[in-house]
Amino acid sequence: MPIFFEKRQLVTPGDLLAEGDYLAGENTYLENGKIYAQRIGLVDSENKRVDVVALRAFYIPKPGDIVIGSVIEVGFNGWTVDIKSPYTAMLRASDVLSRPFKPQNDELSQVLNAGELVVAKIASYDRAHDPQLTVAEPGLGKITRGQLMRVTPTKIPRIIGRKGSMISMIKQETNCQIILGLNGVILVTGKTPEDEELAMTAITKIEDESHTSGLTDRVTQLLKEEKQKREEKKNE
């Protein structure tokens, strides 16, 4: 029952990872008793389970996920929302209005128009049906302020950090509110555009260096340096 990798080793699709008494975890597959990688990523194993943490992937909806999307079409009884996934999502009018929707009373484009952005939760999704969104919860709904940025969806957990250590640190250091859409879209809202820029540089750094260790410390340092530079500029 050999393993053919070291922990956190970089693998490419088709790399043989393990043979025999192992379970094929995420981004891996089993063929003839052998486990191979499906994507470019870093291997990890835990309790006989072999996983690959993908470095490049796209977002596949999962019920319960918070996502950020933009309205692409106003329909008869709802909106079509682009959630940066292979599948476009539907948001129903009755869900947004939180009362029965009557086409003769409500003009949908006045509630949400094409091009506007929403924070929403995936209400349902399976192989046969496109995802349905819901905004009937606190914190969800139309976005009015802030800046958006995109990262690879697989890197969102890295930005959150262990028990949220990374994201809470960034929030604290930059005084920004940050909403992480699991589809890789991030909303940064701060008091000033400068604060937002600062938070965004930190997130970009995490994305670029997500597969390296000791990242939280380096990001903290980066934020401190950037802040100092700004102070110096102000004093000049």
Where along the sequence are the contacts to another protein (CB under 8 A)? 10, 12-16, 27, 29, 31, 36, 38-40, 54-58, 60, 86-88, 127-128, 152, 208-209, 211-212, 218
Nearer to another protein, 176 or 202 (CB): 202
Q: How far is the CB of 26 from another protein (least distance, A)?
A: 10
User: Which CB atom, from 58 or from 225, has the smaller least distance to another protein?
Assistant: 58
Burial 91-115 (b: 16+ CB within 10 A, else e): bbbebbeeeebeeeebebeeebeee
Among residues 38 and 189, whose Cβ is nearest to another protein? 38
Q: Which is nearer to another protein, 54 or 223 (CB)?
A: 54
Residue 117: CB minimum distance to another protein, A: 20
Q: Report CA 121 to chain centroid distance, whole Å.
A: 12
For another protein, the closer CB: 19 or 195: 19
Closest CB 178 distance from another protein, rounded Å: 23
**Cα 16 from Cα 4, distance rounded (Å):** 7
Nearest approach, Cβ of residue 53 and another protein (Å) = 12
Q: Give the strand pairing for 10-11 and 89-92.
A: unpaired
Edge-to-edge order in the sheet of strand 34-37? 16-19, 34-37, 28-31
Characterize 120-140 residue by residue with b for buried, 16 or more Cβ atoms within 10 angstroms of its Cβ, and e for exposed: bbbbebeeeeebbbebeeeeb
Going by C-alpha positions, the residue among 151, 155, 236, 233 that lies closest to residue 194 is 233
Closer to another protein by CB, 29 or 77: give it.
29
Query: Do the Cβ atoms of 188 and 87 come closer than 8 Å?
Result: no
- Least separation in angstroms between residue 8's CB and another protein is 10
Beta bridge partners of 79: 74, 91
**Minimum Å distance from CB 106 to another protein?**
28
